[in-house]
Amino acid sequence: MLLWIGMTFERQEIELHGQRVSYRTAGSGPALLLLHGIANSSDTWARVAPLLSEHYTVIAPDLLGHGESATPRGDYSLGAHASGARDVVTALGHERVTVVGHSLGGGIAMQYAYQFPERTERLVLVSSGGLGRDVHFLLRAASLPVADYVLPALTSQRLVGLGRDLGGLLAKVGLRPSADIAVLARGFAELDNAGSRRAFLHTLRSVVEPGGQRVSAEDRLGLAARLPTLIVWGEDDSIIPVAHGEAAHEVMPGSRFVSFEGAGHMPQESQPHHFAAVLAEFCEATEPARLTYDHWQPLLEGGHDR
């Protein structure tokens, strides 16, 4: 249980298509759908959600195969995760949302907006995947076949301590350790059972290969011309470089780009008040999109937007 500014924010569960889905929700007002990254959970939003829930309805699911949700054998593609997120939103009685995605969740958020434009009011990408090839070498290494045999040895709570110890060692020799090492260590430490490890590898390999990210939304970013879009990145992100966000901003008409000085891959955790203020200002300053399900058709045909 988490205590959020005078309210109890408990994990809740629903069954969707025969599978257990864990989620957290709080607040009232326009709906924000918060999608976490790989090997993370709704805990990713624990520091910022209390601030957002003062003015918005916050919906933070554990993606299938993550957190407290079920880990079935099945489809862990971006499209499947987007459909699962849509089902959670529908089950909770919301028609439209501002979809906010971090890391892998950013790729899912873009897929959500592409598959369900009529249900998407705004798009917010936080240190998002799917915008370039570069990604941390540990994630590239985890996509190798040998990871099936090595991962069980790495996914213990000791790895979190290893991340801290490595940071201290680097500091002693005059190198500034990256907080993102601890982020990766924490994520791997969550893979403490065969089901979660299997889901992690299926999800990872759907978007990452040894050479880098294998899924790209770059050829579709222009389709967001009528969808208010905010891109947020930590300037010191060592998992996915800030240059990806800058490049996406250049080709997304009307998008906003905000970089967080001193932040790494998790700006919503390291600077929650700043993050909440930037997101709230964006929502207040933009009109929610009202798109139709076939909004993309004239653009795909090379015609003019409606």
Please identify every residue annotated as catalytic: 103, 237, 265
**Taking a C-beta distance cutoff of 8 angstroms, is the pair 63, 57 a contact?**
no
Coil vs helix vs strand at 145: coil
Which runs of consecutive H residues, i.e. helices, occur in 174-302? 179-189, 194-207, 242-251, 267-270, 272-285, 297-300
Output the six-digit token pair for 197: 């490890």
Question: How do strand 120-126 and strand 208-209 relate by DSSP bridges?
Answer: unpaired
Cα separation, 168 vs 127, whole angstroms = 25
- Segment (H or E) for 151: helix 147-154
Residue found under tokens 């299997």: 198
- Segment (H or E) for 162: helix 158-172
**Taking a C-beta distance cutoff of 8 angstroms, is the pair 131, 247 a contact?**
yes
Cα separation, 223 vs 289, whole angstroms = 13
Cα separation, 304 vs 306, whole angstroms = 6
Residue 13: what are its φ and ψ, rounded to 5°?
-135, 145
Cα separation, 30 vs 167, whole angstroms = 40
* Beta strand segments in 85-228, E: 97-102, 120-126, 208-209, 212-213
- Segment (H or E) for 233: strand 229-234
DSSP 241: -
